[in-house]
Amino acid sequence: MLNPTLTAFLAIAREGHLTRAARSLHLTQPAVSAQLRKLEDELDTRLFHRTSKGMVLTEEGALYRRHVEQAALWLDDGRRALAGLGDLSHGSLSVGAGATATTYLLPPLLRTYHQRWPGIRLQLREQGSASVAEAVRDGSLDIGVATLPVAEDGGLRFVPWREDELQLIIPEDHALAGRKRFAWSALEGQPMVMFEADTAVRRLIDRALEDAGVSVQLAMELRSIESIKQMVAQGIGAAFVSRFALRPGQGLSPSSGRSLQRQLALCTRADREPSAAAKAFLDLLSEGGTPKG
């Protein structure tokens, strides 16, 4: 919306008469005249010729009118754009998470989100928990999914979302084949296909092995869960992956000692309100629209 002086200027230019301009604005003629004087004083330019038949734009006034009308159009466009963001007819949403969430948990939720608000442009980035937290902090991500705890210097809000367990998967001919549980000691010296080092999942696995006093043979390091599963199927070694990546009954849990439980949390900036698009996604999660398991 234009300020009162510009609104009065356009009304005078449109009506060509102070009285008619005042009537169209539901103002008195002196009030409109005062707005025009104020604008001309600010610009140090005469915008109208005062004639016996009314107000006629000067050359400067005609030039200025074109710019003011263009500004009014831009402001209207901006107002419609803001309204569109509020009603989710357009906008964007960026979400970052680790392999488990991006591969198994988030796709069905994003499908539902897209069906409800197809005008929102979606971006899903796979990255580690520390990187997710940093991206949310610097504003390049709206929402993150991270494994707790995350070492960070404040400014973020973490809300518990899903509890997960890393379970052991084994080649078909493994000694533990047919079991539902395993003893940590059974992994001593065994070849293992591991997640990349310095990831939250890898640290969880390494701590569990250390606590159990077990030393394994590192056969391969990979980032992709599906690649890890394929390598296990090829007999390269055993591996730990999220229960969300497995069929019911496919994975083994430890019979005693440390279990590989972890907490996935939603991460947002603590110092600002989520955008309308981000809030809609957070509301979708709170509806219970999370995968079962």
E strands in 170-260: 181-182, 191-195, 217-222, 239-242, 253-254
For residue 146, the cross-strand partners are: 265
pTM of the predicted protein model: 0.69
Q: Could you tell me the two tokens for 112?
A: 């539902």
The 8-class DSSP code of residue 149 comes to: P
pLDDT at 290: 45
Q: Could you tell me the two tokens for 103?
A: 């591969």
Q: Could you tell me the two tokens for 186?
A: 């059974």
Q: Could you tell me the two tokens for 137?
A: 């902090």
**4-87 adopts what CATH topology?**
Arc Repressor Mutant, subunit A (1.10.10)
Q: What is the C-alpha to C-alpha distance for residues 6 and 36, in angstroms, rounded to an integer?
A: 8
Question: Matching CATH topology for 92-161+264-286 and 163-263?
Answer: yes
Q: What is the CB neighbour count within 10 angstroms for residue 193?
A: 24
Q: What is the C-alpha to C-alpha distance for residues 143 and 103, in angstroms, rounded to an integer?
A: 16
Boundaries of every domain in the chain: 4-87, 92-161+264-286, 163-263
C-beta of residue 158 within 8 angstroms of C-beta of residue 265: yes
**92-161+264-286 adopts what CATH topology?**
D-Maltodextrin-Binding Protein; domain 2 (3.40.190)
Give the CATH number of domain 163-263; options: 3.40.190.290, 3.40.50.720, 3.40.50.2000, 3.40.50.12370. 3.40.190.290
Q: What is the C-alpha to C-alpha distance for residues 243 and 118, in angstroms, rounded to an integer?
A: 31
pLDDT in tens, 11-61: 999 999 999 999 999 999 999 999 999 999 999 999 999 998 899 999 999
pLDDT at 256: 85
Give the residue ranges of DSSP H helices in the chain.
4-15, 18-25, 29-43, 59-87, 99-100, 106-116, 129-137, 200-212, 225-233, 276-286
Helix 29-43 vs helix 18-25: crossing angle, to nearest 10: 110
Ordered per-residue pLDDT tens for the chain, 293 residues: 789 999 999 999 999 999 999 999 999 999 999 999 999 999 999 999 999 889 999 999 999 999 999 998 888 767 766 665 677 888 899 999 999 999 999 999 999 999 999 999 999 999 999 999 999 998 889 999 999 998 766 789 999 999 999 999 999 999 999 999 999 999 999 999 999 998 899 999 999 999 999 999 999 999 899 999 999 999 999 999 999 999 998 999 999 877 899 999 999 999 888 888 999 999 998 875 444 33
pLDDT at 293: 38
pLDDT in tens, 232-265: 999 999 999 999 999 998 999 999 877 899 999 9
